[in-house]
Amino acid sequence: MLKKIFDYTFDNHFSIITIALVIISFFILLQNNHSAVNNIRLFLGDAITPIKQPIISYKNLISASKENQMLRKKLVKLNIQTTNYVNLVEENNRLREILNFKKRSDYELIPATILSKGLNKNVNTILIDKGEINNVKKNDIIVVPDGIVGKVIAVNIKTSLVQLVTDMNFYISAKILPSDAKGILYWWGGNEFIIKDIPNSISIKNGDLVVTSGFSDIYPPMITIGVIKEVKNSPNGFTYILKGKLNVDFYKISEVLILKK
Amino acid sequence: MKKNILTLLIFVGVLLIQIFFNEYIEILEVKPDLILIALLISALYVSPVFLIFLGFVFGLMQDWLMLTPLIGLSPLLKTIFVFTAVKSVQKFKAFPNIVLLSVELLLLFLYFVFYNSISLLRIRLSFSNVILNYSIPEFLYSGILFIAFYYLVLYYKKNRE
């Protein structure tokens, strides 16, 4: 009997090893939400940072010249806009004082470089080169000038893991301007997002701006998320299904800003 | 033994390229899966048991180091992928090269279809969207690299003989 089992095992050892490895993989797959998973990622991230950082810096340096030209053009446009905004800010401050509003707290911005963007096209997490030593904390917000990128989900000594808006588990309370309609926004593949359950009595049209609502403890208000590109009535006839495009091009970003209160 | 050590060193080198130069080998937002290509080529020359361990271990390393959406999916699919690749090599070895190459390319395509379908399952993207926007671009890039390396190895082997 024992010999039979031994012979069978020996004859089919390749299949048996395959099955064993498949079972182990399934077990690892089921442990994805375990905190140890992120800890191992961060530990390995810290380990590769000294080599990866100069490689990424060199790549960024090459693209910096092109970016510089583009930024100069943007700067000219922004200067023109700023002149208009100065007047608006003055008017805003005056009205706030009249209404006795508290002055909004300022945010500190820490620049960070993306060390790793993942292997697949469906990127949902990134590794940045700032960690505990830079005072980065869990739930710090990551932005670029175009809008929100994500939030810090785990921090190690020199690196942090950022969950992007393009993660299946990423939900954010959003506000649509100018209607002020609020809803929960989540990713819908590629560079698209979706917002459901907005009453169709509210006027919303293509091109409307979507920003953070400020209802959450994590996300401050008025950070740009994207624009509405499709307004559809839901099957129940009372609400909208809104599809939109995220402002940030997640494949092109190489540097981000950590927003700290 | 010597062959296995050499294969292991090649895999370590491939993984290092994938980790440190991933952003340099990207074309139109698509990155090739170099470990998968190495596994597919090694299926022709390396012992099956050793290769299946390589598939599992390097799949797991890729998941840890490359920020893939689901940790454990790469080793799972790569283990199954190596098993199927080894079996197909055993079955089609006597056939002309082009048959084996076609079968391996089909396996490569199926890997990307399964990988993307599973990793994007929760956002309920349509199957055609997953195939067109994710699986086909990744397959094309990895497939072209695989064909190039396949013939390069073949040419090297012929010259050695």
Q: How much is the ipTM here?
A: 0.82
Of A37, A52, A120, the CB nearest to B71: A37
Residue A228 · residue A244 · CB < 8 Å: yes
Residue A126 · residue A116 · CB < 8 Å: yes
Of A32, A48, A125, the CB nearest to B65: A48
Q: Does the distance separating the beta carbons of B56 and A251 come in below 8 Å? A: no
Give the distance from CA A201 to its chain's centroid.
31
Which position has the higher pLDDT, B140 or A165? B140
Residue B81 · residue B115 · CB < 8 Å: no
Distance from CA of B122 to the nearest CA of A (A): 7
Q: Determine the pLDDT at residue A26.
A: 85
Average pLDDT over residues B138-144: 91
Q: Determine the pLDDT at residue A83.
A: 67
CATH topology (fold) of A171-246? Thrombin, subunit H (2.40.10)
pLDDT tens profile B47-95: 888 899 999 999 988 888 877 777 888 899 999 998 998 888 888 878 8
| Residue with token string 């810090």 | A152
Distance from CA of A58 to the nearest CA of B (A): 11
d(CA A75, CA A80): 9
d(CA A50, CA A54): 7
Residue B20 · residue B31 · CB < 8 Å: no
User: Regarding beta strands A224-233 and A209-212, do their DSSP bridges make them parallel or antiparallel, or are they unpaired?
Assistant: antiparallel
Residue A63 · residue A254 · CB < 8 Å: yes
The verdict on A62 touching B (C-beta cutoff 8 Å) is no
The helix (H) or strand (E) run that includes residue A152 is strand A147-155
Closest B-chain CA to A121: B30
Is cis: bond before A178, omega within 30 of 0? yes
Global pTM reads 0.67
| Residue with token string 């470089």 | A113
pLDDT tens profile B15-52: 988 888 877 888 877 888 899 999 988 888 888 888 99
- Confidence category of residue B121, pLDDT binned at 50, 70, 90: confident
Closest alpha carbon to A190 in A130, A126, A246, A131? A246
Of A13, A22, A119, the CB nearest to B68: A119
- Does domain A35-164+251-260 correspond to CATH entry 2.40.10.340? yes
The verdict on A222 touching B (C-beta cutoff 8 Å) is no
Tokens of A63: 């693209």
3-state SS of chain B is CHHHHHHHHHHHHHHHHHHHCCCCCCECCECCCHHHHHHHHHCCCCCHHHHHHHHHHHHHHHHHHCCCCCCCHHHHHHHHHHHHHHHHHHHHCCCCHHHHHHHHHHHHHHHHHHHHHHHCHHHCCCHHHHHHHHHHHHHHHHHHHHHHHHHHHHHHHHHHC
Tokens of B134: 């994710």
d(CA A16, CA A171): 42
Closest alpha carbon to A186 in A133, A152, A225, A235? A225
CATH 2.40.10.350, chain A: domain bounds? 171-246
Distance from CA of A232 to the nearest CA of B (A): 18
Q: Determine the pLDDT at residue A98.
A: 67
Which position has the higher pLDDT, B151 or A86? B151
For B156, list phi and psi in degrees, rounded to 5. -65, -40
Asked whether the predicted pLDDT for residue B123 surpasses 70, the reply is no
Mean pLDDT per segment of 10 residues, for chain A of length 261 residues?
A: 75 84 87 76 79 79 76 74 74 72 63 77 78 87 86 86 82 85 83 83 85 81 86 81 86 82 68
Of B21, B33, B133, the CB nearest to A119: B33
Q: What residue ranges define each of the domains in chain B, with the CATH number in brackets?
A: 2-20+27-160 (1.10.1760)
Count the neighbouring beta carbons within 10 Å of the beta carbon of residue B67.
Answer: 24
| Residue with token string 């199926």 | B110
Say whether A207 sits in a helix, a strand or coil.
Answer: coil
Q: Determine the pLDDT at residue A106.
A: 63
CATH 2.40.10.340, chain A: domain bounds? 35-164+251-260
Task: Name the packing angle between helices A13-30 and B48-65 (round to 10°).
Answer: 10
Distance from CA of B160 to the nearest CA of A (A): 30
Say whether A158 sits in a helix, a strand or coil.
Answer: coil
The terminus-to-terminus CA distance of chain B in angstroms comes to: 21
